[in-house]
């Protein structure tokens, strides 16, 4: 069974194929939306960009990281 870190890496790797954009691109979009809370970002991405909940959650985690990195914690 895959570890949580491996699952996150798999989602990051599949994000471009599923959405047409890489994680850093989605993080920029999320940050530019003005949404400040995790749930707001997820809702924005799901409604305005029609990406799935799991990917929206992944992007929201990356967008809310205070160190400016795109990858969520545990993704390395």
DSSP string across 24-48: HHHHHHHHHTT--SHHHHHHHHHHH
The pLDDT assigned to 10 comes to: 95
What is the separation of C-alpha 10 from the centre of its chain, rounded to a whole number of angstroms? 13
Query: Quick check: is 55 in a domain?
Result: yes
Whether 75 is in a domain gets the answer no
Domain membership flag for residue 76: no
- pLDDT over threshold 70, residue 12: yes
Give the model confidence (pLDDT) of 14-69 as tens digits.
999 999 999 999 999 999 999 999 999 999 999 999 999 999 999 999 999 876 55
How many structural domains does the chain have?
1
Q: Is residue 46 part of a domain?
A: yes
Q: Name residues whose C-beta falls within 8 Å of residue 6's C-beta, 6 or more positions apart in sequence.
A: none
Kindly state whether residue 50 falls inside one of the protein's structural domains: yes
- Asked if 17 and 40 touch (Cβ cutoff 8 Å), the reply is no
Residue numbers of the domain that contains 27: 4-63
């Amino acid at each position: 069974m895959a570890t949580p870190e491996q699952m996150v890496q798999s989602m990051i790797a599949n994000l471009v194929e599923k959405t047409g954009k890489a994680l850093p691109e989605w993080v920029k979009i999320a940050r530019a939306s003005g949404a400040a809370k995790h749930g707001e970002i997820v809702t924005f991405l799901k409604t305005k960009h029609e990406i799935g909940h799991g990917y929206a959650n992944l992007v929201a985690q990356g967008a809310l990281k205070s160190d400016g990195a795109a990858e969520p914690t545990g993704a390395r």
